[in-house]
């Protein structure tokens, strides 16, 4: 049976993060909004560094990074619970000390050059597989790499790359054997910015500031290959599935705070002599939202629990991702409606959450892709509607 009982240490960890978010991050929301109106995104670098320093001083460094690499080595359930707390503010913050999961496939020399400096915060990476014509269909990538002696020459374009403007190296996926395609013909390369690739930020309706990356005759040594030649697609799928449950976990935290705001507004807003909390229309909005939040909580925690148990959690993660995106958007819309005109202004964080949560239905797998995955797994017998306990 699923046991999600937290021990004293785990409760203490969650409590510390909750306090950190309330005291350190939420007060910065107005500043972040002002910066956004000036065309700047997120926290100032010095503020982010200071916050991460505060967290590290309390032992919060590398949430899921193995302890032998200096991290906390927490499991998926705890990582999800921490993400829920971070989701209670739109201020984009992550604890330092983490690295992409596929970077651990680096050989010893690459670990010294890329993995360890990334964990320590000295270097920044980005993951580049999406292209203008290859989004959800990752097998359709056209960026190519041809071998010339001991070097590879990379040509192509990537788009919507998170962290692409700040990264000093990229994990880029390119076709190295057209005949084999994704099955043995795609390779991942570690490429420093100094090698010549360029990036340009893409403006979006929310905080997320992805980039377009261009590779034109970018030369790298054969030793730049991450993992094995031709095995890049397997690495890409592992990266994409590394923690899809964390996205709806963050949305869960946002929804909790939003509904709390809606209840406060319902008690305080008086119309025709009564608080709107007495109106059935408002009560039903709040009731539906509470049920959906609880359902999302269990979808997220069940997926995370399966990860911790070493089970195949892809179906559970797709369900959490799909449900979380849909319901978060419905909930923030209700909360805005309950606040009326004030909800539409930038005086409250609702408008900001409205824009941010919309991304969840697209980012790291659209709703349509999640439905496709869920249905195929069921129809092919890879998953059951009875779940893991069936």
> Could you give the residue numbers annotated as active site?
364
Of 124, 122, 82, 88, the residue nearest 103 (C-alpha): 124
Longest Cα–Cα distance in the chain = 82
Give the Cα separation of 21 and 243 in Å (integer).
Answer: 22
Query: What residues does 144 pair with on adjacent strands?
Result: 155, 175
Q: Residue 212 phi/psi, 5° resolution?
A: -100, 130
* Inter-residue contact 374 to 322 (CB < 8 Å): yes
* Structure-token pair, residue 190: 């570690």
**Residue written as tokens 């031709």?**
230
Of 175, 106, 99, the residue nearest 138 (C-alpha): 175
Give the Cα separation of 324 and 294 in Å (integer).
Answer: 11
Question: Where does 252-315 show beta strands of DSSP type E?
Answer: 270-271, 274-275
Q: Residue 131 phi/psi, 5° resolution?
A: -130, 165
Alpha carbon distances (Å) from 91 to 22, 51, 349, 354: 11, 12, 10, 14
3-state secondary structure of 134: strand
Q: Residue 108 phi/psi, 5° resolution?
A: -60, -45
Alpha carbon distances (Å) from 235 to 150, 187, 255, 370: 23, 9, 33, 20
State the CB neighbour count (10 A cutoff) for residue 110: 18
* Inter-residue contact 296 to 248 (CB < 8 Å): yes
3-state secondary structure of 101: helix
Three-state SS letters, 17-54: HHHHHHHHHHHHHHHHHHHHHCCCCCCCHHHHHHHHHH
Give the DSSP letter of residue 241. T
* Structure-token pair, residue 371: 């439905």
């Amino acid at each position: 049976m699923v046991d999600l009982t937290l021990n004293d240490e785990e409760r203490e960890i969650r409590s510390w993060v909750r306090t950190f978010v309330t005291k350190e991050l939420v007060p910065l929301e107005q500043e972040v909004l002002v910066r956004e109106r000036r065309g700047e995104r997120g926290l100032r670098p010095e503020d982010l560094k200071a916050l991460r320093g505060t967290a590290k001083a309390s032992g919060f460094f590398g949430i899921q990074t193995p302890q032998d690499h200096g991290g906390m080595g927490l499991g998926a359930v705890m990582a999800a619970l921490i993400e829920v707390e971070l989701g209670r503010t739109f201020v984009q913050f992550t604890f330092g000390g983490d690295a992409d999961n596929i970077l651990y496939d680096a050989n010893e020399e690459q670990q010294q050059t890329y993995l360890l400096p990334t964990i320590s915060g000295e270097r920044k990476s980005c993951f580049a597989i999406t292209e203008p014509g290859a989004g959800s269909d990752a097998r359709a990538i056209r960026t190519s790499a041809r071998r010339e002696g001991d070097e590879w020459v990379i040509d192509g374009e990537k788009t919507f790359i998170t962290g692409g403007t700040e990264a000093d190296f990229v994990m880029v996926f390119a076709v190295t054997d057209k005949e084999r395609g994704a099955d043995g013909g795609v390779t991942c390369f570690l490429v420093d910015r100094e090698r010549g690739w360029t990036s340009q930020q893409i403006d979006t309706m929310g905080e997320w500031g992805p980039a377009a990356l261009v590779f034109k005759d970018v030369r790298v040594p054969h030793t730049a290959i991450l993992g094995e030649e031709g095995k890049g697609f397997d690495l890409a799928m592992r990266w994409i599935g590394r923690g899809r449950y964390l996205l709806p976990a963050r949305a869960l935290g946002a929804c909790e705070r939003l509904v709390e705001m809606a209840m406060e507004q319902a008690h305080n807003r008086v119309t025709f002599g009564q608080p709107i909390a007495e109106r059935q229309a408002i009560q039903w909005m709040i009731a539906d939202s509470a049920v959906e939040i609880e359902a999302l909580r269990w979808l997220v925690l069940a997926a995370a629990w399966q990860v911790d148990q070493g089970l195949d959690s892809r179906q559970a993660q797709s369900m959490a991702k799909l449900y979380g995106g849909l319901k978060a958007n419905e909930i923030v819309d209700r909360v805005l409606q309950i606040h009326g005109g004030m909800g539409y202004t930038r005086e409250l964080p609702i408008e900001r959450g409205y824009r941010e949560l919309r991304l969840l239905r697209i980012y790291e797998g659209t709703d349509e892709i999640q439905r496709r995955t869920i249905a195929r797994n069921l129809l092919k017998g890879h998953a059951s509607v009875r779940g893991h306990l069936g």
